[in-house]
Amino acid sequence: MTATAPAPLTGPLTALEAQALSLDDPRPHPPEDALVQLGHCVMTELLDLLADTALEDFQTTLAETLIGAFHSAAQRIEREADRARDDLQRQVRDFNGSEVADTDLQEATQRTRAADVAVQAVELIRDAAAQAYALATGEAWQPWRGSVKASRLSAAQVEAREAIRAMRARRHRAVDPGTVVVGFRAAPQADTAVDAGRIFDALNWARQTWPDMALAVTGARGGEKLAQKWARSHGVTTVLARADFDRNGRAAPFRANDELLELEPVCVLTLANSLDAARGGELKPFGPALNLAQKAAERGIRCVTVRLRA
């Protein structure tokens, strides 16, 4: 079979396509919508294949591993780009004005920017696969550690010094959750329709109060998964402070609270039990949510308990 080149770009260019065209590479880059379609198709094919088979019980593991593979690939390419940027920065520092140095600087700049485009392309595939997974299963994918950067970035910089500044800004966005962090912890059993409605109300209130907020959770099942779905649908950055049971054992959920508070949230929201009368009365309040509320109060951090409407 003969591979066909992507169709010529028409209409307004996306940021990724504008960066790709500025690379002076004779080979075309796949259009952004084609990359998104690839991510959707790969995930849809996997889920369709597993449905109603003996592997259906392992669907979550396989689907999340597939998304994680794209995530790992993006991180690997970015590490390669970081090494290229280090070389670029050295050349900028030692630039002597010669023709050879100028040529080397241009080549290093092109390598750096080409890697940046590749990272964004892989992140688009990853995000599309994650979206297809969420639509099909209702589950929100998150990496085991850290957070996920948005895959749509600004147009590429042309000059070497501008490329270095873009690199620094990109790194900062990758590790900095934002100026305002709102923490949230909820009980695993708080996953009913009643709980979802009040959790979403609380998060909408928080976003109205702090429009540039980032949401910090531990990624636990139940109410926190609902909060992650809300964040994804509203374009709110999610920062994970996962419980590390391998390292901290039974204390892991409480150590995760400490990590969450180290983000210096302006407010924490807690829901220690289901608000559904049919379920909440049968189960004990979730200790880690109560613990977060107590620790926040001790630090003078505003704490809001999610409750039923009066």
Which residues are 221's β-sheet partners? none
**What value does the mean pLDDT of the chain take?**
78
3-state secondary structure of 183: strand
Lowest mean pLDDT among 28-42, 192-206, 274-288: 274-288
Q: What's the confidence (pLDDT) of residue 255?
A: 87
Please give the structure tokens belonging to residue 116. Answer: 């940046």
Q: According to CATH, where is 3.40.50.450 located in the chain?
A: 180-305
What does the pLDDT read at residue 5? 45
Q: Which of 18, 4, 118 has its CA nearest to residue 70?
A: 118
Is 180:212 a contact under the CB 8 Å cutoff? yes
Average pLDDT over residues 288-298: 88
pLDDT at position 270 = 93
Percent above pLDDT 70 for the chain: 77
The dihedral through the CA atoms of 152, 120, 127, 77 has a sign that is: negative
Query: Which pLDDT tens digit goes with each residue over 196-246?
Result: 999 999 999 999 999 888 899 988 889 999 999 999 888 888 888 888 777
The stretch 26-35 carries a mean pLDDT of 83
The residues, ordered by sequence, that sit 6+ positions from 218 with a Cβ below 8 Å of its Cβ are: 185, 224, 240, 241, 242, 243, 253, 256, 257, 260, 288
Specify burial of residue 210 (Cβ count, 10 A radius: 0-12, 13-18, 19+).
middle
Query: Are 46 and 63 within 8 A, CB to CB?
Result: yes
Q: How far apart are CA 78 and CA 120, in angstroms?
A: 10
Cα distances (Å, whole numbers) of residue 99 to 102, 123, 128, 295: 5, 36, 44, 61
Q: What is the C-alpha separation between 230 and 90, in angstroms, rounded?
A: 43
pLDDT at position 179, please? 59
Q: Is the pLDDT of residue 4 over 60?
A: no
Is 180-305 CATH 3.20.10.10? Answer: no
